[in-house]
A and B are shown apart, each in its own frame.
Chain A
Amino acid sequence: MPTANIDALRIEGVHKSFGDFVALHAIDLSIRQGELVCFVGPSGCGKTTLLRIIAGLEQQSGGRLLQDGRDISNAAPAARDYGIVFQSYALFPNLTVAQNIAYGLVNRRKGRAEMDARVKELLMLVGLPDAGPKYPAQCSGGQQQRIAFARALATKPGLLLLDEPLSALDAKVRERLRGEIRSLQRKLGVTTIMVTHDQEEALSMSDRVVVMNHGRIEQVGTPLEVYERPATPFVADFLGKVNVLNAVCLGEGRYRVGSVELSVQANGIDPGAQVRLYLRPEDRYLPDTGDLQALPNQLSGVVRSIDFLGTYCLAEVEVDRFEGQRLLVYYSLNQVHQYAIRAGSVVPFALRGERVRVFAAADR
């Protein structure tokens, strides 16, 4: 039986190649009981291949998979314990919603009444109590998604696999379902792995995020960790917006961009080394935080253009003495009005040096 101290899933040195192409380099990863983990990365990063290997739909070239301590490396899909929701949902079009959900139950020789009760319970759970007699084609995309979810959960699997489950939906529905899936997963406590290419989805839903690129894991951590302390330039770039500045290390946490010296909390870099500074548009102080003069890294520049993004704007600022390097600066809509930000405005601000990440210039 699964116990708290055994990992729900352990992946040990799993790799996969298709001929000469290496889809996955030796992957090591542990997934704990009850957590929701997102595999996120650009298309072709290997996240779907890894999920399919976990499901037994793809055979790994090497390495081991342990589910609840049991070696499932060579077990057939049917001999593993998981439920899966595909991007296409793969609902059986000729069966009703209730028949779809009961599909895996029929096989377990449960009584009719018990089965009906379970289907009803699941329909309630996903908020579609009356959908039972309908056919999938008569349901909306969001409803189909929830039906696929209910079908995957019907047999009470120990592991739930979600392969881009929201990407076929409209933006509004997608946002609503994110929350629903998350709360359902918490309520049931089912260990869940979700594959997505949408970084926002990954950050908003997961307990932990696994960022992948070119068949390797770049970083594993909580959403806040990977966002605020990206381990590699790729992670910084892939999750959210980021400014990249070419700089030279001056030693002792000081860096020169153009002809400006910035003080940044990042050590261990040799003086004179060419580096890149990564910082997010929101990592800045504006005059409303207090007297900018009292802060380090105080800058000013001219707004060249403004990108309006709803509740906030990104101003592209040509910073004085940065020698051509521009910076995206975050302004809430209120701040845009407050400081009358428009193209041509001169804006003062200060960078939050403690948030800046430094990578060697060759790292990219």
Chain B
Amino acid sequence: MDASASLAPQRSGWLSEGLVARGGIVLLALALFVFLTVPLATILVRALEARDGRFVGLANFVQIAQMPSLLRALTDTLRFALGTTLITVPAAFAFAYAIQRCCLPCKGLWRGIAMVPILAPSLLAAIAFLYLFGNQGVFKGVLGWFGLSSIYGMPGMVLAMSFASFPHALMILLAALALSDARLYEAADSMATSQWRKFLTITLPGAKYGLISAAMVVFTMAVSEFGVPKVIGGNTNVLALEIYKQVVGQQNFSLGAVVSILLLLPALAAFAIDRAVRGKQSAMLGARAVPYQPRRAPLRDRLMLLYVVLVCAAMLLVVAMAAFGSLVTFWPYNLTLTLRHYTYGIEEAGIDKAYQNSVVMATWCALLGTVVTFGGAYWLEKTRGADRLRPWIQLQAMVPMAVPGMVLGIGYVMFVNHPANPLNWLYGTMAVLVISTIVHFYSSSHLTALTALKSLDGEFEAVSASLKVPFYVTFWRVTVPVCLPAVTDIARYYFVNAMTTISCVVFLYSPKTQVAAVSILQLDEAGALGPAAAMATLIVLTSAFVSALFFLAEAVLVRRTQGWRRGQSN
């Protein structure tokens, strides 16, 4: 038989499949380069230029170093971030411990309530705290007990930020405490170890990496936050706020760029520590570990239940306060309930399109973000070829986690605005909001997708090849259906975050693409607290509604397409 003739068509078939594999990788690398690397690099370049674009070397940095207000902003940023971390992480740890290691009723309910802040923009907390403890607040008197004269400034910032960051820390700590080897506790019991000593020698070391991770996440969130300081910070200035003032207030992009670099430093440090720590964690729990089952301890369980209920009550109080504030006619003088803030209030401010824009943007982020993230992770994990680009993509995919949204936003505004940029038609469009938001939340979605894909049998593609089935058929028939829960998770994550994010889009919207979360900021600036609360409440309701929709859709899909999961008890 003629070997070469029979081989030729098959080889070209393989070539085209290989081309698809390599093409996907190249596209992904290119997209990350254009929409992440270049905008960030623009900041670096811009930091070395004067306002008119002349190269001035480090002059901007010198100027910054001579501004005493900026030094104060730096120390206040660190105080703010540290204070938030010191409150949130222990509180979230106790909560996670109660859920994972104690016998409580209705665990799912408590967990769900504690996650509520994730559905809200951080500004909601700030607004709610104004209603609760502000100059005309319900519990203003309580402040005196703690020796505070006013909620404005550091106390309010730290409280509001703790509320907003609580679920992020909680998720990490729940996962850290979920993994535990029961046999360690059994061994300790056999040696008659006290509860306290078991906690100190087994539980705490086991959760060590989770604790560090949670601390880093909270710290980074606080360092990059500017909405909360703006609304409730009074005269306290932080770096993120300084960037906002320089860029939006004074159109001074060069100084904005310099401060961005300053802001990037603590976030990068936190990120590096977190990476180093996570690398070690994988070896913590062997495959043969026996999962830990909590046993009843009436006193401890009751105390923990009390704590959990208190935290949940506080969560609900904050949200309810904002919602209530949005419904009263004129706080605190006229408490008649009304919907006028939702209608007249929002219309009067000329931002009636903002809510609609947010929903459109979040929907696009959910659709496009999911396709790009899951597709990208698949190409990275399951195809071969273009090997030199792969490590670079892996690295790039993790960068957004370390970059504060504001810094990314500045990078985008400088990048897209640049007259030499062929992409400058993007300026002021919905597209740039969608792209920047997807990039901003890429890391965690990428990790979710990667984890799901890694849990699949690594030989699916090899089996398909042996059966002469192209890899994309297997992707569609097997990979996507099996990863469906992860895919809906990613979509939900993008939607909710796109609804609530401010930091990145605040520099990028145009009057036509104004989004809801940003409009809260403007309403607050204009002193329209009622409409601001209304907008925040609207966002929470939408996020909650869509999340519920996703859960429902997932349940239906799982029932219809994933009958195979039911037999998996063994």
Contacts and interface: CB of A to CB of B under 8 A. Distances in A.
Nearest to B482: A94
Contacts of B478: 92, 94-95
Interface residues on A, range: 35 or more
A135 B567 contact: yes
Contacts of B469: 103-104, 106-107
Nearest to A148: B463
B3 A137 contact: no
B459 A151 contact: no
B465 A56 contact: yes
- Give the bracket for the number of chain B residues in contact with chain A: 35 or more
A335 interface: no
Interface stretch (A69-77, A251-259, A286-294): A69-77
Given A93-B482, A104-B467, A155-B468, A75 B11 contact: yes
Contacts of A154: 467
B466 A76 contact: no
A136 interface: yes
Contacts of A76: 10-11, 13-14, 17-18, 465
A113 interface: no
Contacts of B67: none
Interface in A82-111: 82-84, 86, 88-90, 92-96, 103-104, 106-108
Nearest to A86: B459
Contacts of B14: 75-76, 78-79
Q: Classify the interface of chain B: helix, strand, loop or mixed.
A: helix
Contact of A75 (B1, B10, B568): B10
A263 to B, nearest CB: 52
Contacts, number: 110
B526 interface: no
Contact of A135 (B11, B473, B563): B563
Contacts of B197: none
A192 to B, nearest CB: 14
B11 A79 contact: yes
Contacts of B7: 70-71, 75, 79
A164 to B, nearest CB: 12
B8 to A, nearest CB: 10
Contacts of B13: 76, 78-79
Interface string A307-348: 000000000000000000000000000000000000000000
A273 interface: no
Contacts of B570: 137
B463 A90 contact: yes
Interface in B278-335: none
A92 B463 CA distance: 10
B567 A90 contact: no
B455 to A, nearest CB: 11
A356 interface: no
B17 A70 contact: no
Nearest to A92: B478
B481 interface: yes
B459 A90 contact: yes
Interface string A149-184: 001101101000100000000000000000000000
Contacts of B460: 90, 92
A187 B361 CA distance: 62
A205 interface: no
Contact of B462 (A55, A79, A92, A157): A55
User: Which of A96, A106, A135: most chain B CB closer than 10 A?
Assistant: A135
Interface of A: 1, 55-57, 69-71, 75-80, 82-84, 86, 88-90, 92-96, 103-104, 106-108, 134-138, 151-152, 154-155, 157, 161
25 contacts: A57-B462, A71-B3, A75-B14, A76-B17, A77-B465, A78-B466, A78-B470, A79-B11, A80-B466, A83-B466, A83-B467, A86-B457, A86-B463, A88-B457, A90-B459, A92-B460, A94-B481, A95-B477, A95-B478, A96-B564, A104-B467, A104-B469, A137-B564, A138-B564, A155-B467
